Structure 1
Amino acid sequence: MRDVLEHQQVLRNITSRYNQHKCRRVENEEKTGGSAEKRNVTRRIRVTKSLAEAVKIVTKTTTPYSMTAAPYNYSYIFKYIIIGDMGVGKSCLLHQFTEKKFMADCPHTIGVEFGTRIIEVSGQKIKLQIWDTAGQERFRAVTRSYYRGAAGALMVYDMTRRSTYNHLSSWLADAKSLTNPNTAIFLIGNKADLEDQRDVPYEEAKAFAEENGLTFLECSAKTGSNVEDAFLETAKQIFQNIQDGSLDLNAADTGVQPKQNLPRAAENNGKKDCNC
């Protein structure tokens, strides 16, 4: 819950700065424009207010289907981010993983969305905190703040739209520059159920992954094929980094929080199910 509140505050600050900038520009235009321009100004104000309200509602928390254990009944928290172009199915992948359901009419993410699920790796229960980021360029300033402290990054493209594959280099550059060197980056080609519409050959994407040291899978958020594997394999990589010592848990922004560092009061007092 503390992470959610901190990220909400980040977004409020960004939204405030955005609105101040827009309002100053609108005021300047209003002073110099005629009646027609004033009508346009009024329209822009309405749009700005709508965007501001939308950006505030960016931490929709999905309730994981398997979270029946008591709060803090796990050994680690791993932070994930999901990145990629708009419309590649990032939110649908998150929903399929946390809810075991496909959202046929999935709205575009504004800012970020958040989901959690407890999994098991090598006998250890691990809570995944998953941040689903918006793919539109206008939200990149907002979503880049979520890269920091990510232990895992799922980079998604739509295998039926080559343009989304062509933009992977830009997403990968952001991921490598804004996360720590040990972040596990997993490449996902989504919409594998649309094989007859394939626009990116499997071999080409696999070669890209190998060249950049990424793990690669094609999956389908609609059918659920390989969705579980993508999230779990990323967690296994992170856990292996912990075991072999390449991930220093005492360092800042690793994206991994051991149980001993979790709030003790919440651990002792939590007797009811909690999705935070």
Structure 2
Amino acid sequence: MSAKETKKGFVHTAVLEDRKIITFPAMNKDCFTPFEISDFSHKTYKKCWKDGEFISGNWLNVCKVIILGDVSVGKTSIVNRYCRKMFDTNYKSTIGVDFEMETFEILGVSFTLQIWDTAGQERFKSIAQSYYRGAHVILLVFDLTSLDTLYSCQKWLSEALMSVTDPIIFMVGSKLDLVNRFSYDHITKSAFKLARKLNAEYWPVSSRTGRNLNAMFNRVAALSFDEYIVKSDDEPVLGVPIGKSLIDLRQDDVHQRAKKNCFSSKCK
């Protein structure tokens, strides 16, 4: 994505068309949500709309998203497919943590998801847990071909809630392309039941085909954006930090700052 300097000296990042949101993203029929919301709140529209036009935001309002789950459930594949439009059949475990920045334009306002991919291996857990703090959204990933990984979601959430306060929670069933219809129906019932218990929105996805990934991340962005505006005071939306992380830097500087705190091999 390219960036250009504005008159105020801030940076406006070019946003992909599928990252531009002007209506609240709808749910798919094979998903579950506990959130009774079908549109942006009146307060959100009021803050983002001025003189008949959407405000054009120059600041990067940043929402921290952490992705948790057992080893080999497909966390990194989800990030690679969504952020890099790629799928690698050769498995490589994440060492510590890794991150990506994805910029949206929601009701005309620039909004960025800072997506943290964490290691599922026990030996890296202490490293990964140090990056949970300040997260606004938690994605709990499990493998649709493995019921055990579904039941692990509750454990991962319990550990995260020791460092995270009142997050938006998503449960993500990966490897949708590998599961047969009978197994899918069986695990979906269990996934819906656990999602209700955890107050989480549930999405089945495929990193190989990309199915449901754009729609899911649009929901992540829209829900977190709207919730923050609703909970915020009457300050202008531009420049207000999301998840206590406000960035007013060039995109390259954003990555350089994050790299200082990253243990992934890609950060070296």
Q: Say whether the fold is shared (TM-score over 0.5).
A: yes
Deviation at 1:90, TM superposition (A): 0.4
Q: 1:247 to 1:103 in 2, by over 3 A?
A: farther
Match of 1:17 in 2: none
Change (3 A) 1:79 1:137: same
Distance 1:246 1:274 in 2: 27
CA distance in 1, matches of 2:233, 2:91: 35
Aligned amino acid, residue 207 of structure 1: K
Aligned to 2:70: 85
Partner of 1:96, secondary structure, is helix
Cα pair 1:180 1:254 within 8 Å, conserved = no
**SS of equivalent to 2:180:** helix
Per the alignment, residue 215 of structure 2 pairs with 229
Identity of aligned residues (%): 32
Consecutive unaligned residues of structure 2, counting only runs of 5 or more, are 6-10, 13-58, 236-240, 256-268
User: Displaced runs of 4+ in structure 1, greater than 6 A?
Assistant: 246-249, 272-275
SS in structure 2 opposite 1:146?
A: coil
How many pairs were matched up? 197
Higher helix share: 1
Q: What's the CA shift for 1:246? A: 6.3
Q: How does 1:71-82 map to 2 (within 5 A)?
A: 72-73=11-12, 74-82=59-67
* Whole-Å separation in 1 of the counterparts to 2:233 and 2:193: 27
Q: CA deviation at 1:106?
A: 3.2
Matches of 1:70 and 1:203, distance apart in 2: 48
Give the equivalent residue in structure 2 for 1:255.
243
Partner of 2:238: none
Q: Provide the C-alpha distance between the structure 2 equivalents of 1:156 and 1:123, rounded to a whole number of angstroms.
A: 30
How much does 1:134 deviate? 0.3
Q: Which has the higher contact order (CA 8 A, sep 6+)?
A: 2
Q: State the AA in 2 paired with 1:87.
A: S
Whether the 8 Å CA contact 1:80–1:151 is kept in 2: the answer is yes
Aligned residue in 1 for 2:170: 186
* Two-structure CA RMSD over aligned residues (Å): 2.6
- 1:113 maps onto 2:98 in alignment: yes
- Tell me: CA distance 1:275–1:92, structure 2 relative to 1, closer, same or farther (3 Å): farther
TM-score normalised by the chain length of structure 2: 0.67
Q: Distance in 1 between matches of 2:168 and 2:210?
A: 22
Among 180, 194, 215, the alignment partner of 1:208 is 194
Deviations 1:29-79 (A, max 9, x none): xxxxxxxxxxxxxxxxxxxxxxxxxxxxxxxxxxxxxx2233742441111
Unaligned runs of 5+ in 1: 1-66
- Find 2:3's aligned residue among 69, 81, 86: 69
Q: If you compute each CA radius of gyration, which structure gives the higher value, 1 or 2?
A: 1
Q: How does 1:139-150 map to 2 (within 5 A)?
A: 139-150=124-135
Q: How does 1:1-276 map to 2 (within 5 A)?
A: 67-70=1-4, 72-73=11-12, 74-181=59-166, 183-196=167-180, 198=183, 201-245=187-231, 255-258=243-246, 262-263=247-248, 266=249, 270=250, 276=255
For the 8 Å contact 2:147–2:187, the answer to whether it is kept is no
* 8 Å Cα contact 2:154-2:198 kept in structure 1: no
Q: Tell me the distance in 2 between the aligned counterparts of 1:81 and 1:180.
A: 13
Cα deviation for residue 230 of structure 1 reads: 2.2
| Shift of residue 101, structure 1, vs aligned partner | 1.4
